[in-house]
């Protein structure tokens, strides 16, 4: 029988206030939603366009983060090399960097006059800023640390004896990684992917700075909310915010039930 733990009042009160602090804005959003005109608002083509673009870019950004982030997390967790602490610190910079500053940094690096962007433009005629691909890059830039931190933590908590046993049986480092390590840390990768996707879906500052706000091309849902709010259409902004909230909660809850449930 599990004994019920009594929560001390000094902990219960701030915990309850913290919950109210988080839930109250959501209640305010639901209370101000124009339910009577909601179907008409949802049928507007601009809403579907922004939602479709947000889902596409956040998914592509998450896939990009998985390609780069899982190997990077493995190196940080398994390989000793000079400057590892510095690399880990650099990875966490986007977590504390204002997104607008991140967008400016991306422009200076990948813009037409940037360090790499000028070379791409001159040699291949390829430009990332103010394109859908630029949205994916901006979202991946701010979301990658969430994946790396999550996967690195999972790798550090995984039992390395399984990898050692695979090595004694003749498995190469790559076979051990793909057949032993990845299955062991799959829940951590899933958790990091969920956090990465959610962060990419809600990205605003870096996106509008690096990719602009062009409907159908770079205008994701957060940017559509901003533009609608700036135009004075509060109800429209509330509807867009509600859609973004519903999509985020639904997908995060579904993925959590499937991969993140703890025994």
The domain segmentation of the chain, as residue ranges, is 45-260
DSSP H or E stretch at residue 89: helix 84-96
How far is 240 from 223, CA to CA, in rounded Å? 10
Residue that is written with structure tokens 């804005």 in the block: 25
| pLDDT tens, residue by residue, 183-199 | 888 888 988 898 899 89
pLDDT digit string, tens, across residues 206-255: 999 999 999 889 999 999 999 988 888 888 888 888 888 888 787 767 66
Q: How far is CA 148 from CA 61, 98, 124, 130, 151, in A?
A: 14, 19, 31, 27, 5
* Tokens, residue 91: 């990875």
The pTM for the full model equals: 0.86
Q: Tell me if 46 sits within 8 A of 227, measured CB to CB.
A: no
Domain 45-260 has CATH 1.10.3720.10: yes
- Distance between CA atoms of residues 146 and 160, nearest Å: 23
d(CA 146, CA 93): 11
Residue with tokens 């062991």: 184
Q: Provide the token pair at 147.
A: 């994946």
Digit-by-digit pLDDT tens for the chain (263 residues) are: 456 667 677 788 898 899 899 889 888 888 888 888 888 888 888 888 998 999 999 999 999 999 999 999 999 988 888 888 899 999 999 988 899 999 999 999 998 888 898 888 888 888 889 999 999 999 999 999 999 999 998 888 877 788 878 888 887 888 888 888 888 888 889 888 988 998 999 899 999 999 999 988 999 999 999 998 888 888 888 888 888 888 878 776 766 555 444 44
Report pLDDT for 263: 41
Beta strands in the chain (DSSP E): none
Q: Which two tokens stand for residue 62?
A: 């998450």
Cβ atoms of 76 and 215 within 8 Å: the answer is no
Distance CA 235, CA 116 (A): 42
CA angle 41, 249, 57 (to 5 degrees): 75
CB 112 within 8 A of CB 129: yes
In angstroms, the CA 201 to CA 2 distance is 40
pLDDT at 10: 79
Give phi and psi for 145, each to the nearest 5: -60, -35
pLDDT value, residue 69 = 93
Instruction: State the Cα–Cα distance between residues 262 and 72, nearest whole angstrom.
Output: 26
């Amino acid at each position: 029988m599990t004994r019920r733990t009594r929560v001390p009042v000094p902990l219960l009160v701030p915990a309850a206030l913290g919950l109210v602090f988080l839930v109250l804005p959501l209640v305010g959003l639901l209370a101000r939603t124009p339910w009577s005109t909601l179907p008409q608002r949802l049928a507007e083509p601009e809403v579907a366009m922004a939602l479709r673009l947000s889902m596409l870019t956040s998914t592509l950004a998450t896939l990009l983060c998985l390609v780069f982030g899982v190997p990077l997390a493995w190196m940080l967790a398994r390989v000793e090399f000079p400057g590892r602490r510095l690399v880990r610190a650099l990875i966490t910079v986007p977590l504390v960097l204002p997104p607008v500053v991140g967008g400016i940094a991306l422009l200076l690096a990948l813009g037409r006059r940037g360090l790499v962007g000028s070379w791409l433009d001159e040699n291949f005629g390829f430009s990332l800023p103010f394109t859908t691909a630029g949205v994916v890059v901006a979202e991946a830039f701010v979301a990658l640390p969430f994946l790396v931190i999550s996967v690195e933590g999972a790798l550090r908590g995984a039992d390395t004896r399984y990898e050692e046993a695979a090595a004694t049986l003749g498995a190469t480092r790559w076979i051990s990684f793909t057949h032993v390590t990845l299955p062991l840390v799959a829940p951590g990768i899933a958790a990091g992917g969920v956090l990465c996707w959610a962060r990419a879906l809600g990205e605003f500052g870096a996106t509008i700075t690096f990719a602009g706000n062009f409907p159908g091309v770079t205008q994701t849902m957060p940017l559509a909310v901003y533009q609608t709010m700036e135009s004075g259409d509060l109800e429209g902004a509330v509807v867009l915010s509600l859609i973004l909230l519903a999509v985020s909660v639904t997908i995060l809850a579904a993925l959590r039930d499937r991969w993140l449930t703890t025994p």
